[in-house]
Structure formats: C-alpha cells, structure tokens
Chain A
Amino acid sequence: MDKIQLIDTLPNVFVNRENIVSGIWNQKVTFEREKLYLVEANSGTGKSSLCSFIYGYRHDYQGQILFDGEDISKYSVAKWTDIRQHHFSLLWQELRMFPELTAWENVEIKNKLTNHQSKEQILEWFEMLGITDKLNAKMGRMSFGQQQRVALIRALCQPFDFLFVDEPISHLDDTNAAIMGQIMTTEAKKQGAGIIATSIGKHIELPYDQVFNL
C-alpha cells in the first residue's frame, strides 16, 4: 500500500454540524509512504473516528477513503485481516492490551501471528524503553505509561506500510518519548513506511513532513 486518500470524508455525527474548519474532514487529503505526518486535534474533533475508519472497524462516515485508489468500504473480512497483519499497524489511544497476559505475552501474541520480529529485537526494545523488569508482569498491574511502551513494541511486531500512532506519548516523560520516537522512525525507515501520529497537545518531536489540524 503506497497511498491513503481521504476524499470529502466526514463522520456521520458531524454531518449536521455547521462551519467545520478542519484540515482533514471534508478535504482531499493524501498520506504517502516514507513520510511523517502529525494530526493535531482538540478533543471531540474525531481523532479516534479517523483511526477506526482507516483501520476498517467503523464505517459511519460520508465521502470516500481510498487505499491506492481502491475504495475501502468494499473490502472483505479476509482483506482487512491481511491489511492488519501486513500493511497497517495501529497504536490505539486506549492501547487495547490484554490485562490477563504479561507484557511479554502481549507482544508475543502479535508476533506469533506475523513472525515478524526476532526475540532479541523485542527484548532490545524492552531494554531501550526501560521496562525489561516488567517482562513477566501482568499487563493489568502496570501503569498506563508502561503499558503504552509495551503497546508500541506490539505495534512494531508486524510488517507495515503505515504506522498510525494515536497519542502515543500521552503518559510518557520526554526522555521516553524521545526513545519511542527514535524506535518508531528507525523501524519505519527500515520498512519504507509512513507514520501518522496524532496528539492533543503533547507530541513527539520528529521532523514532520506535514502537519494537519483536525
């Protein structure tokens, strides 16, 4: 997948709202590989909706979303499964981790599906993010900031053309945020992938190619 296009896309809930001033909704927007995007938003402007539309688990929008010129509203279950395994990785704002499993198992459950990263690589990331001691801790017992870091590692355990990170550093200090930014960009570069990051204030300092105001 090389290109994500949004053509006059608008969440259904916004249809009756007047004077929508947005860099994304009701516009023609294109995201390309190998580029860095930042989507800045105030809360309630539909940031999570944007994630869910592009990731194919909500379809309550008007207009079109195209992957490489193909309208995604017609995609089959198998196609979405393929996209989620091989083309598109998402780091949710709400993380969507499994509290019953340990940090390691949370990563492993994804990596077993894709067989993408080596154990050494994963352990190295745990080390870099300073959570090696939490490897065998139950996810439910960890702080949100720690969980965020595990969630990033899980998001990197698959091949992707685009990495979508939704408020990835909301609970991180600047040092850890910088490490996270570095890991993300390194991995994206390795795969020639694009990164779309969102924030409602605090954002990772990266050399963004384009910044949108949602």
Chain B
Amino acid sequence: MNLVWKLLRQHISIPQFVGFFFANLVGVVIILLGVQFYKDYQAIDQEDSFMKADYMIVNKKIGALSGLSGTQHTFTAADIADLKESGFVEKIGAFTPSSFNVKARFDVEGFVSFSTEMFFESVPDEFVDVKSEAWAYHKGSNEIPIILPKNYLDLYNFGYAQGKGLPKLSEGILGAMKLKIIIEGNGQNDEFEGRIVGFSSRLNTILVPASFMRWANGQYASQEGEKEPTRLIMEVANPTDERITSYLQEHDYETDEEKLEASKTTFVLRVIVSIVMIVGIVISILSFYILMLSVFLLVQKNSSKLENLLLIGYSPARVSFPYQALTVGLNVLVLILAVIIMLVIRSVYLDMFENFFPDFEAPGVLLALCVGLGLLVLVSIFNVIAVYNKVMSIWNRKE
C-alpha cells in the first residue's frame, strides 16, 4: 500500500485541503454548537418540567368595581364553553379553590420557622406532568403533595435570607423538607404533612392534587355547593397564535404575559437557532463540495497512474482506498476538532448560565455528538462512493 500511496499522493494540493478543512470545521462547529446550545437552553427553559409545555392561565380583569362585588370575575359555564369553541384551545381546566382555612408552618431546625396563612388550588391532573405516584393523594393519608410558586423560594433566598444572613436554600434541599399544614373548617382542625414535589415559576398558586381538593372541600367546607372558578388553565397548540391575544382582549381576560412572552422568546430562539444551523449546514455542504472538487481534480491529475494501477491488476476498490481514507480521515479530524471547539465555547456560556440560574443542570452532549457522528457517517459514505465511482469511470475509460 505504501508504494501505491507514494504514487497517488502526487498532485495533492495542500492549500485546497487546508481550505476544505477550515471551511468544514467552521460548518461543523456551527452545527454542533447550534444543537448543543438549543439543548442547553431547553434545560433552562424547562424549569417547570412537571407542567405540560404550552399552557396558559387566564383570569378576568379585576376592575375597581368588580373587585368589590366579588362575583363578576368568576367564569361561568358559558364562558368556558365559549373558550372551548374558540379554536386555539386544546384542553381547558378550571382552578378549584379551597373553601377552608389553611395554615402552613415550616421549620428549618435551629434556623428559622415560618408560619403563614395560605390557600390551596387544584387543577385537573392532566395538566400536571408529575408521575402519578408522586402526585397522588391517598385518602386517610396525612401527606399532601404540593407544588409551590418559585417566587416563594426567591422571596426567601433573595429577600429574607439575604437580609438576615441566613443560608440560601436550593429547590433540592427544600424538596426534601416537610411542611406542616393545618386545615381548619367546618368545626374541624387537622394536621397534615406537605411534601413539596416542585417549584413552578409559571403557576402563581399553591397547587395540590385534584383528588385531595375534592375530598378536603367535602370535609372542611363550611358552605355547600361548588364555587365558580376564578382562573382557568388551558393548553394551546401555538402560544404565538394571534387569535389568543385578540380573544383575551375582546373578553377582558388576562393571562400571565410573561409566559406568553417566554413562549414567544423560545419560538424566536428556535427560529434563530434553526437559521444559524442552516448556515452551518450550507457551509458544510459547500466545504464538502470543495473536498469533492479537490479529490476529483486529484483523480483527474493522477488518472494515468490510476489507470496503470488498474491495468497491472489492482482492483478499483484498492486503488480508491487511499483517497477514500484521505477524505474520511479529514472528516474524522474535522469532527474531533469541532467537538473540542464546541466544548470549549460551551464551557464559556455554561459559566454564564450557571451564574444566572443557580439550579441549572447542564444536559449531556450526547445529542450533539450523535448529530456530529451522523453527519460524519453520511458525508463519509458519500465521499467513499464518489471516489469509487470516479475510479470506476477510469476503469471504464470514460474519461
């Protein structure tokens, strides 16, 4: 093989291959970085992994007058039916408020002890994406799964703890602690244990399972009959849908704008990442084209040598091999270097992510590696076949 290589490496143009190498490197780095960045961004965005992705919460605007009357900001059955008909709603559910008094106590031994009045709300289970066991309430048990607003934790960490010089608490630590819940109503007074299953930055309420709410409302509610809901949760197909905004305005409804904005940001980011990746793919395709041209030129320049090798008994596969190995080798080198560059750049932005989001856990790089490997295999197969076909055209004396 040595002698064959000595022959066939004649006319190899280093500048052409260097050109290919860097062009392809840029392309592959962009593609890998695009994939990885999107994955990392998703990890930030998915703080509420226990809530389904595209849902919104709506309530009626509370004006100066309606606030006093106390009834007008609830949703009637007709309102809900109308929303269902609107076309952008996939699923809709009502918030059920608690009709009893709730007190919570929270002790961090030796440090701090909170006690507060609070309330519970529940939504249908289908909107909560927690494994059924963790989110189930068993009748007779005194353990209640709870989802708290992220704000509570932030209030403590950045307000209270900061001011008093107390240690900051992470979601993990808090999740492992128990909350003492005292429920009063209907002449009864019982104590329960709250188990925090998660924090939500989107749900501005204290959520308990619907099954618990049904039971507790029956048990402790002072008055009979269900209240009309003041808030609705709905799953929408596309949060950027124009119809949503106009419908809400028309009916004087409100939604958490932030969520809407976040969805739009994600959407825009997705578009930007897609564009960047398309640019990367175009660069890669062009560099692939450069490589193919260089190799074809090389084959052309060495065609008499290739022909003679074929005529003295070398098989087309064996004659193709040096050029195939050359191209595949270059591709592998590009991929390795691209992965290293991607990891370096990533480590820079991951530092930033971790500063902004203390709970951020970096996802793996497996997907990006798979994409890189997939590209490598695809491009290499193309290269191998193209070189072989070129050699076969010499065999068939078509040149």
Contacts and interface: CB of A to CB of B under 8 A. Distances in A.
A77 B315 contact: yes
Contacts of B312: 84, 96, 109-110, 113, 154
Interface in A146-163: 154, 158
Given A58-B397, A98-B305, A98-B308, A84 B7 contact: no
Interface string B230-256: 000000000000000000000000000
Nearest to B395: A77
B6 interface: yes
A84 B308 contact: no
Interface string B298-320: 00000001001101111110000
Q: Interface of chain B, helix or strand or loop or mixed?
A: helix
A110 B308 contact: no
B7 A98 contact: yes
A30 interface: no
B350 to A, nearest CB: 52
Interface residues of B, number: 17
Interface string A54-86: 010110000000000000000001100100110
Contacts of B309: 109
Interface residues of A, number: 24
A57 B311 CA distance: 8
Contacts of B316: 77, 81
B204 interface: no
A34 interface: no
B119 to A, nearest CB: 81
Contacts of A32: none
A84 B311 CA distance: 7
B3 interface: yes
Contacts of A112: 3
Interface string B1-44: 00110110010000000000000000000000000000000000
A101 B313 contact: no
Interface of B: 3-4, 6-7, 10, 305, 308-309, 311-316, 392, 395, 397
Interface of A: 55, 57-58, 77-78, 81, 84-85, 90, 92, 96-98, 100-101, 105, 108-110, 112-114, 154, 158
